[in-house]
Amino acid sequence: MRLTVDEVYKKYADRIFGAAFNVCQNQADADDVVQDTFIKYHSWKKEFSDEEHIKAWLLKVAINRARDIRTSFWRKNKVTWEDYMEDLIFEKPEDEHIFEAVMKLPQKYRTVIHLYYFEEYSITEITEILHSRVGTVKSQLSRGRLLLKQMLKEEWDYDE
């Protein structure tokens, strides 16, 4: 199965940006990851089994590219995600607090949380995307949830 780049872009660009932003934590790098991912898709000559395979492949490529960018020399010239917060629009006020808490998590937990809750992947699918073991993903998801719970509880207790 093969979809045109335009079709794939319309369906998955926002999801790829979200995953990339989650790793890179800034808009410019996430935009670069989106562009690089679709260039790679365009030049990839192999067929995919179905649309879910395309989506998983795109997210895998995007996350790997985002990790490469995150560890690059040019990473020193980044805009922090806190600065980018002013440009984001949230549907509900509490979404902003949840987003901030997720972004404060260590990267390994943030990525797993993003794929599980925002992309709605199963643990098995996440292990394939991240080339991890089931136990690793489960523990990262569990620890990420615990850290989120603690952060949000502290904020809630502080507000009272």
71 with 114, same domain: the answer is no
Q: From 40, 46, 35, select the one nearest 13 (Cα to Cα).
A: 35
67 with 106, same domain: the answer is no
- The pLDDT tens digits for 95-130 are 777 888 888 899 899 999 989 988 899 999 999 999
* CB within 8 Å of 5: residues ≥ 6 apart: 38, 41, 42
The whole-angstrom separation of Cα 157 and Cα 159 is 5
Q: Roughly what angle, to the nearest 10 degrees, separates helices 5-24 and 27-43?
A: 140
CATH number (domain holding residue 148): 1.10.10.10
The dihedral of CA 13, 19, 21, 23: what is its sign? negative
- The pLDDT tens digits for 67-89 are 998 888 666 555 666 666 677 77
13 with 83, same domain: the answer is yes
Q: From 66, 67, 77, select the one nearest 31 (Cα to Cα).
A: 66
pTM summary value: 0.66
The whole-angstrom separation of Cα 141 and Cα 102 is 12
In whole angstroms, how large is the CA radius of gyration of the chain? 16
CATH number (domain holding residue 28): 1.10.1740.10
67 with 100, same domain: the answer is no
157 with 100, same domain: the answer is yes
Q: Given pLDDT bands bounded at 50, 70 and 90, which one contains residue 91?
A: confident
Q: From 104, 120, 125, 29, select the one nearest 68 (Cα to Cα).
A: 29
Domain that holds residue 55: 1-88
User: How many domains does the chain contain in total?
Assistant: 2
Triad 70, 86, 110: Cα angle to 5°: 40
